[in-house]
Amino acid sequence: MCITRGREALNKVFLVGRLSRELDMRVTVSGKAVCSFSLTVAFRTRVREETDAIDCVAWDALAEQIAQEGGDGRRVAIEGRLHSRQREGADGQRRKVTEVVVRDIEFLDKPG
């Protein structure tokens, strides 16, 4: 937990799901590895089972590990924090993006 000016603040996310799309591994201009991916998380409502696709990003050695070991459909548990930022779309409009910045990952199944 983090204490900020007398108020408590906590930003921690734990998710278990499946890697759902191609991993986007790249290197920034400054040489940092970054891997973006989507995590599909299933949940049950009173009526039916549904899924959410949650955007995630990992940096440095963790990004390289995910790119090497990850693959479409791998079951994983991740720990991280929510982060919101602004980005400009292809049409020039600014959009708010919220994603999980991954701090740790555990692969729960075998590759392949």
* Model pLDDT for residues 97-107, shown as the tens digit of each residue: 999 999 999 99
The number of folded domains in the chain is 1
Here the CATH number for the domain that contains residue 99 is: 2.40.50.140
> Does residue 112 sit within a domain?
no
Query: Residues near 24 by Cβ (< 8 Å), separated by ≥ 6?
Result: 35, 36, 37
Rounded distance between C-alpha atoms, residue 87 and residue 64, angstroms: 24
Examine residue 1 and state whether it is found in any structural domain, yes or no.
no
Domain that holds residue 103: 13-107
Greatest C-alpha distance within the chain: 49
Tens digit of each residue's pLDDT (9 = 90 or more) over 52-102:
999 999 999 999 999 999 887 899 999 999 999 988 878 888 889 999 999
How crowded is residue 91: how many other Cβ atoms within 10 Å of its Cβ?
A: 6
Residue 5 in domain: no
Domain presence at residue 59: yes
Is 8 part of a structural domain of the chain?
no
**Residue 3 within a domain:** no
